[in-house]
A and B are shown apart, each in its own frame.
Chain A
Amino acid sequence: MSNYRILNTRARRVDAVDKITGRAMYTDDFQRPNMLYAALLHSPLAHARILNIDTSRAEALPGVKAVVTWREAGTVPYGVSPARYDETIFCYDKVRYVGDEIAAVAASDLDTALEAINLIKVNFEELPLVLDGLTAMNDGQPRLHDQYKNNMCAEVHWHFGDIEQGRRESHIIRTDKLTSKMQDGAFMEPQSVLAEVDAQGDLIMYSSTQAPHYVQRTLAMALQMPLHKVRVIKPAVGGGFGPKASCSTAELATCLLAMKTGRPVKITFDREQVFLHSRARHQFFHTMTTGIKKDGTLSFLDHHCILDGGAYASFGIATIYYAGSLLGGPYRLKNMKYDGYRVVTNKPACGAQRGHGAVIARALFEVQLDRLAEELGLDPIELRLKNVMEAGETTCNELFVSSFGMREALEAVRDSAAWQTKRERAGKTHRNGKGIGAACGFFVSGAGYSIYRSRTYHCTVITKVDEVGGGVLVQSGAADIGQGSDTVLAMITAEELGITLDDVRVVSGDSKLSVDLGAYSSRTTLMTGHACREAAQDVKRQILSAIAALLSVPPETLDLKDGFLVSLAGPLDISELRREYLREHLGFTDLPEGPQLTFAEAGRIAFLELGAIVGTGKYKPPPLGGSFKGAAVGTSPAFGCSAQVAEVTVDLETGRVTVDKITGAHDCGFAINRTQVEGQMQGSMMMGMGEALMEQIQYDTKGRIVNANLAEYKIPTALDMPHLEAIIVESHEPHGPYGAKEVGEGAIMPVIPSILNAIYDATGVRIDELPITPERVVAALRTGGK
């Protein structure tokens, strides 16, 4: 039981009422006088040289205010990782995927803008396509970018420990493969951007982004503006999951059009454009060879992976590193080799998506553990328990886990799902279509380093007490994209200042307010949480010192609790301060009474003494990780871990898989808000289930997406959702605020493998290609599943 009043409760989200009543303002809800509508010209071809772009007919269309191409936009390269800037605002020499942006139009209404797009004439010379990630790097393949020889965008070669030694120690060695398909983030709100230039010449952009700070930098760089003249504001956002974490052409082009026309310009993606833009999960081709000793301890992992990243680098450099590094945990693994290859192909660029880089790798590794357990005759959970790391250990790739509830999580799901009984029951009727499977996961709690090289603080928070007393305003650049970070900041502030959630207002997601690297890598609760706590404590210190001076008591004897200033050392005489406060409020009713100063009085009087009471907080992780190349990716001040058990029913004739139940346990260190932690876990289960069973972007032979909509790109519906049980494990992370660490992404890790393992239990066949469609199940059943 905690001693907190607000933390660790199920406090209602601060944005709940706005969102359910429709009052919350998303980017597309904003209108401006004289606003123009933008449209983009997307390439219809997957790979072609641009011979000529003729915009004259579009420009002549009445209502069109501006048409821009690379000629207006310039060709400053940008991207996500500075080492791989390979995009320009518009294509100028080549188009590299169906959807690549060639031009943009601003017009007085959307119809006109779209019509103008149709009037832009582009002459192309078609080039041969590279659509297959597996062969993209072969000699003789057409090349997408001059800078990527053999279409190789990035390679990683790691060897930790000694896998040859590991091999020698192994009793059983297995090699297995798993392939996935490109996916879509399938967030609710399609990207939307509204840009305007104010009278001072500042560029202000509202965008449904996850990372205002990085977007601000990219806008300034690619549009060649001073950074302080660019402001990025994130209104309410309907989900991101990664694809909204990088700056896009839609953002850049809309700004350019606003700068060119001097008028506000808006664009909102159609759902199809969400698919075209993508920047979602890569396609992975994993091969793993894993060895295990007779007693069930893991001896080595030799991991080979090809990532098909689509046309541009985007987040791909981080992706390829994460795909390797996050297998360092949650099991003791001394010897690990990783060879990763990220190739470019003529498909929409892939980027980060929930569980960045690590999801499919995790799936295969956990499937391998089950296979090894079976060969050894061990229970799969037993095998895992034998190998799990404990707090205080460091992985072979130098990731230090300061708190680790892995064992507890695994035991929790085992017991809660009645694993033993169900396995035994399944044992008798094995392979009758009912199955149960388990898996674990491991994830960072905030990237240890910013994307660009810098000593920057990862976030700052500025908290101010209303001069009138009573209310508190928290200002942060953090991006609440639906995950609930504003609520976390409000709860921390209310807790520290001894006030109610309703006394706190949070304004966030604005690059002018404070720096914050954004909503990615499951970082906000830990990092911005630290900064928020520090700012609140700063405020508290100022209030207490002002009052202590007036009352001539040591500040250490005062505290803020339950809405009052309280004394820890006997009663205080507050009558003079009370009198002053009452004198200021003649005519007011409902004035404070009783022996204690209220928070409102204390705040007001502190202001009268000191001026504005403003507290600040900041956070950046300590230096982390090893010194090998790429050691920075995968580092984190803390690591989350999780375990899940999935129960499935497989129709052995049609191959249709029904997930009956998922029991999950996640170690989030400390649950700031229990309902939100469970919400992230349930959301992860739903998303992981979709990725396991349904989700795949499908292309035709010309690189065009054939299912660029939510009717044909399947995610689970409410009816498909099984019973979900979410168990919170709290290991009290020493590096997290109040012991808190991540839950946003880690909880997705075990979903796919637990389902894969359950399907094997139900059918006796292994599926090595995701998603596990009914057809793939039937094919595996008919061929005996190798």
Chain B
Amino acid sequence: MILPRFDVLTPATVTEACALLAAHTAAGVRILAGGTDLLVELRRPIIPQHVPRCDGCPTHPEGAVFSTIDCTMWNSEPLMAAGGSVRAAVKPPAFLLSLHKLRDLRGLQKRTDGSLRVGACTTITDIERSRDIREGWTALAEGADNLGSPLVRNRGTVGGNIANARPAADTAVPTIALRATLVLRSTSGIRTIAAADFPTGPGKTIINPGEILTYIEYPAPAKYSGSAYHKLANRKALEISTVGVAVYLALETPGGPVADVSVALGAVGPKPLAAASVGPVLLGRIPDETAINDAARAAMEDARPIDDHRGSAWYRLQMVEVLTRRLLKTALARAEGKK
């Protein structure tokens, strides 16, 4: 993997980071956390992007001449998946702003109201190992368990996973199901946004240039609640999920009707999706076999899968139903204290 040249900025405080970010926006700057997404994205292409058809742009007045270089005008061909060897070189940013010195942004804080504040630079390993998270926000712990490999988990951060905005992101999906709020900060202050509203498309978010994701705030789980995440993939590690589903379920009382439910779907749409159709089907009902089956089928309505090299839309859709059903049962068992 060969990287382009860039300079690295290393602010010592969040305030300084915001200032540096603002100061370098014009020159081109990207935020660097663990780098496990960013550096892969920035690596040089092995084969220069080919310009397939350039009909009379200023650089190629000769028209139907095919050239491996030179045509900066052309940008219409859909890009290859990141795995492809022929891909457009990402214009390398002049600067990377590294968050590694921002100690404040790494770590977990359980608050008196029972909610949890997670620093954006908390590593996936930290999440995986946290007792609090495993007990109170199990789906998030299970998302962390399944991300990449130990090597990747040691470097990768939850903020990076969410900010990178991939539809399959393993901590983003539970974060949406657990109805977390994201805290963004820039020189002009702080704003908060619901995790579900943060991504807008593959790799795209509502974040503005100059903004840093600082914290993720997970509300306190209800008394009789449980959550779970499952990633469906073809091997046990180093996988991007074919489908990932996270479920949060709360009961009014053990054995009682559903008080709250939230389902998020990964890898079945342009971004991680909140499955809004599940709530109306399940709320207020006793979560028996029929209710759960109805809810799982409802989740399918929210999925918008496509065919790609990891799986077909058809398969993904079927799996939304299977996983949602299974996870509702797991979350139910947990809500009833049965693990």
Chain B residues lying within 8 Å of A110, measured Cβ to Cβ, are 2
Chain A residues lying within 8 Å of B94, measured Cβ to Cβ, are none
Q: Is B315 an interface residue (CB 8 A)?
A: yes
Complex Cα spacing A158 to B81, Å:
44
CB < 8 Å neighbour of B47 from A98, A700, A717: A98
Complex Cα spacing A41 to B66, Å:
16
Chain B residues lying within 8 Å of A74, measured Cβ to Cβ, are none
Interface size for A (C-beta < 8 A) is: 53
A200 to chain B, nearest CB (A): 35
Which of B119-127, B134-142, B217-225, B235-243 interfaces with chain A? B235-243
Complex Cα spacing A110 to B235, Å:
35
Complex Cα spacing A779 to B318, Å:
10
Chain A residues lying within 8 Å of B239, measured Cβ to Cβ, are 714
| A44 and B68 contacting across the interface, CB-CB below 8 Å | yes
| B235 and A774 contacting across the interface, CB-CB below 8 Å | no
| B1 and A270 contacting across the interface, CB-CB below 8 Å | yes
| B66 and A693 contacting across the interface, CB-CB below 8 Å | no
Q: Is B319 an interface residue (CB 8 A)?
A: yes
| A775 and B66 contacting across the interface, CB-CB below 8 Å | no
Q: A98-B86, A704-B80, A705-B85 are in contact. Are A44 and B309 (CB under 8 A)?
A: no
Q: Is A707 an interface residue (CB 8 A)?
A: yes
Return the CB mask of B250-291 against A: 1 if under 8 Å, else 0.
000000000000000000000000000000000000000000
Complex Cα spacing A719 to B149, Å:
10
Q: A45-B50, A48-B66, A99-B47 are in contact. Are A774 and B232 (CB under 8 A)?
A: yes
Complex Cα spacing A656 to B49, Å:
37
The majority secondary structure among interface residues of chain A is: mixed
Q: Is B44 an interface residue (CB 8 A)?
A: yes
Q: A693-B234, A706-B81, A708-B84 are in contact. Are A123 and B44 (CB under 8 A)?
A: no
Q: Is A108 an interface residue (CB 8 A)?
A: no
Q: Is B48 an interface residue (CB 8 A)?
A: yes
Chain B residues lying within 8 Å of A41, measured Cβ to Cβ, are 48, 68
| A775 and B311 contacting across the interface, CB-CB below 8 Å | yes
Q: Is B27 an interface residue (CB 8 A)?
A: no
Chain B residues lying within 8 Å of A276, measured Cβ to Cβ, are 46-47, 85
| B84 and A704 contacting across the interface, CB-CB below 8 Å | yes
Q: A121-B69, A272-B46 are in contact. Are A712 and B83 (CB under 8 A)?
A: yes
Return the CB mask of A672-711 against B: 1 if under 8 Å, else 0.
0000000000000000000001100010100011111101
Q: Is B15 an interface residue (CB 8 A)?
A: no
Complex Cα spacing A694 to B239, Å:
12
Q: Is B130 an interface residue (CB 8 A)?
A: no
Residue ID in chain A nearest B70 by CB atoms: A121
Residue ID in chain B nearest A117 by CB atoms: B48
Q: Is B333 an interface residue (CB 8 A)?
A: no
Complex Cα spacing A323 to B164, Å:
46
Chain B residues lying within 8 Å of A173, measured Cβ to Cβ, are none
Q: A44-B48, A272-B85, A705-B84 are in contact. Are A714 and B2 (CB under 8 A)?
A: no
Q: Is B65 an interface residue (CB 8 A)?
A: yes
Complex Cα spacing A722 to B148, Å:
20
A276 to chain B, nearest CB (A): 6
| B1 and A694 contacting across the interface, CB-CB below 8 Å | no
Q: A712-B309, A779-B315 are in contact. Are A706 and B80 (CB under 8 A)?
A: yes
Return the CB mask of B30-69 against A: 1 if under 8 Å, else 0.
0000000000000010111110100000000000011111
Residue ID in chain A nearest B3 by CB atoms: A111
Q: Is B19 an interface residue (CB 8 A)?
A: no
B86 to chain A, nearest CB (A): 5
Q: A44-B48, A110-B2, A706-B81 are in contact. Are A121 and B68 (CB under 8 A)?
A: yes
Residue ID in chain A nearest B83 by CB atoms: A712
Q: Is B13 an interface residue (CB 8 A)?
A: no
Residue ID in chain B nearest A125 by CB atoms: B66
A660 to chain B, nearest CB (A): 13
Complex Cα spacing A276 to B86, Å:
11
